Amino acid sequence: MLDPKLLRTEPARVAANLARRGFSLDVAAFNALEERRKALQIRTDALRSERNARSKAIGQAKAKGGDVAPLLKEVEALGAEQAAAEADFTAVQGEVERLALGLPNLLHESVPDGADESANVEVRRVGVPRTLDFVPRDHVALGELDGGLDFEAAGRISGARFAVMKGAVARLHRALAQFMLDLHTREHGYTEAYVPYLVSRQALTGTGQLPKFEQDLFALKGENELFLIPTAEVPVTNLVRDAILPAESLPLKFVAHTPCFRSEAGAYGKDTRGMIRQHQFDKVEMVHIVRPEDSYAALELMVGHAEAVLQRLGIPYRVVALAAGDVGFGSAKTYDLEVWLPGQGKYREISSCSNCESFQARRMQARYRSPATGKPELVHTLNGSGVAVGRALVAVLENHQQADGSVRVPDVLKPYMGGVEVIGPKA
RNA sequence: GGAGAGGUGGCCGAGCGGUCGAAGGCGCUGGACUGGAAUUCCAGUAAUACCCAAAAGGUAUUCGUGGGUUCGAAUCCCACCCUCUCCGCCA
């Protein structure tokens, strides 16, 4: 959510910023609504004040043993008027809130212009794709050779956009997640978190997936309304919901390995082959809760942590700064990490690191006590993949493949692979 | 699943129809005391929205959440959520 004060005082600036995303904010309509809300609030407050004063008078008169009948009659007349004002106020307030929850975050000034991903700016390229003296296979072909990737079985069990992994491939998948968690907790100072995979509407509203993107989520049928998490960002960031944190406790750095569930409602026909785009995938997620002045340094730090994963796996990648039109709803600035996939001959997203500034914090009421003012102030929240496990598996398979269709296990994963050094095609 | 207890400010905890945004304590801030500190003493210390150029001040809302009763609700009633204890069941 945006700062309502900023929206009121500098609507033109806000509109101009949001326009960079391609989002058009009707400033006049918003202001008109705000004015109505304000007027109604003043009126409602005045009527309440009147009622409170009279009720108090009744109490005092009673205490003195006076006759309260005339006073009671007076208050009665006030009742209807007050109830009406109250109802109007509640309605308008709800309207304002609905509108406010639908506005995306303001972009940081450093975000490059551009309507879509074609305008993303490459920041750096790390590692060089191997020159192969054979035609590279994609992960689907490699998985078939080994027998460890079974989309056909997944289709029978659940339908399209699911995967079954078996044997060495399944183990490699597990090894990747373990390696990432260990790296982040041992070397990058993260606290490991295990969190619920089912979350409330409130939690999803806090991080910004709701109310706008309900169609991308899987909802459970049942008495309690629950949704499957689309990312660990939701439960992990909500760890600080409604909290007033001591300043010295910041920054908080959490890492969690969870499955993620996305209905990918708008992705028909995209990436239908293989496990690039699935309804269910695993991800190791990093979340930072920081003081506002530290959030952009934290973003760079977090990107570095994600990069470390790829570097140790020996996978070439590039870092791109997302263009205005490609930055997600709640983010002020986002870097994507894209890995080289020889099977596709292009770089594909494997991590997305975002600084949400106070956007989520305001929705969640996540605050810290500022040493400067002594008052509670909103924290800044960041989240980033460190990294997507399924896509990391794809990257390892494709980048470390050999002419015969076998795949060399990266050194850093060997301790997790129980001595397996090569994932081989079944004879 | 059964029985019981409870959810109050940054934290603990009292209050159980009006003068309660809420005693007391802890913590924190300022002051006194001290060579400096500890102890002790004094004072201050919730959030949000709105009015106000700002400060000061004022008004409203907030005692798990949502409804209800009442002129008036932390306090009474109903529903729901959560926590704890015991029993049952389980991983």
Annotation says A171 is catalytic: no
- Contact, A40 vs A88, CB < 8 A? yes
Q: Quote the tokens at residue A108.
A: 């940081």
CA-derived radius of gyration, chain A:
27
Distance A349 CA to B11 C1' (A): 45
Q: Are A311 and A124 in contact (CB under 8 A)?
A: no
Give tens-digit pLDDT for A37-71.
Answer: 889 999 999 999 888 888 888 888 887 777 777 77
A245: pLDDT confidence band, cut at 50, 70 and 90? confident
* pLDDT tens profile A102-114: 999 999 999 999 9
* A98 counts as catalytic: no
Q: In chain A, pLDDT over 90 holds for what percent of residues?
A: 67
Query: Residues in chain A, how many?
Result: 427
Q: CA-to-CA distance for A240 and A122, rounded, in angstroms?
A: 33
pLDDT at A2 over 60: yes
List the catalytic residue out of A338, A354, A391, A398: A391
CA–CA gap between residue A295 and residue A302 (Å, rounded): 10
Q: Identify whether the C-beta of residue A360 lies closer than 8 Å to the C-beta of residue A240.
A: no
**Most confident of the ranges A20-34, A171-185, A187-201, A257-271:** A171-185
Query: Residue A373's pLDDT is what?
Result: 77
Quick check: A408 CB within 7 A of strand B?
no
Positive/negative CA dihedral, A212, A214, A217, A220: positive
Selecting among A349, A369, A377, A406, the annotated active-site residue is A349
User: Chain A, 10-29: which CBs lie within 7 Å of strand B?
Assistant: none
Tens of pLDDT, residue by residue over A176-211, are: 999 999 999 999 999 999 999 999 888 999 999 998
Which of A331, A352, A354, A358 does the annotation list as catalytic? Answer: A352
pLDDT at position A172? 97
- Residue A224 CA to B2 C1' — how many Å? 22
Question: Residue A249: pLDDT band by 50, 70, 90 thresholds?
Answer: confident
> Which nucleotide is the nearest neighbour of A71, by CA and C1'?
B71
- Distance from C-alpha of A294 to C-alpha of A412, rounded to nearest angstrom: 32
Residue type, A165: M
Residue A43 CB lies within 7 Å of the nucleic strand B: no
Pick from A62-66, A367-371, A387-391: least confident: A62-66
Name the catalytic one among A48, A277, A291, A369: A277
Structure tokens at A344: 């596709």
Angle between helices A295-313 and A167-186 in degrees, nearest 10 = 140
Distance A312 CA to B78 C1' (A): 60
Q: Quick one: which H or E segment has residue A191?
A: strand A191-192
Q: Which of residues 244-303 of A touch strand B (CB under 7 A)?
A: 244
Q: Which nucleotide is closest to A35, CA to C1'?
A: B50
Rounded CA gap, A305 and A282, in Å? 18
CA of A223 to C1' of B79 (A): 15
Spanning CA of A320 to C1' of B72, the rounded length in angstroms is 62
A65 CA to B15 C1', in Å?
25
pLDDT at residue A119 tops 70 = yes
Q: What is the ipTM of this complex?
A: 0.84
Annotated catalytic residue A391: yes
Distance, CA of A21 to CA of A334 (rounded, Å): 13
More confident residue, A306 or A96: A306
Backbone angles phi, psi at A279, to 5 degrees: -75, -25
Predicted local confidence at residue A427, as pLDDT: 53
Confidence of residue A318 (pLDDT cuts 50, 70, 90): very high
Report chain A's mean pLDDT, rounded to a whole number. Answer: 92
- Protein-covered nucleotides of chain B (CB closer than 7 Å) are 10, 18-19, 28, 47-51, 59-61, 71-72, 81
Lowest mean pLDDT among A49-53, A146-150, A229-233, A371-375: A371-375
Q: Which nucleotide is nearest to A45 (CA to C1')?
A: B60
CB atoms within 10 A of CB A234: 31
pLDDT band of A352, cuts 50, 70, 90 = very high
Cα–Cα separations (whole angstroms), residue A320 to A139, A227, A333, A381 = 24, 31, 11, 20
Q: How confident is the model at residue A420 (pLDDT cuts 50, 70, 90)?
A: very high
CA of A371 to C1' of B31 (A): 21
Give the tokens for residue A239: 């760890």
- Residue whose Cα is closest to the C1' of B27: A246
Q: What is the DSSP letter of A25?
A: -
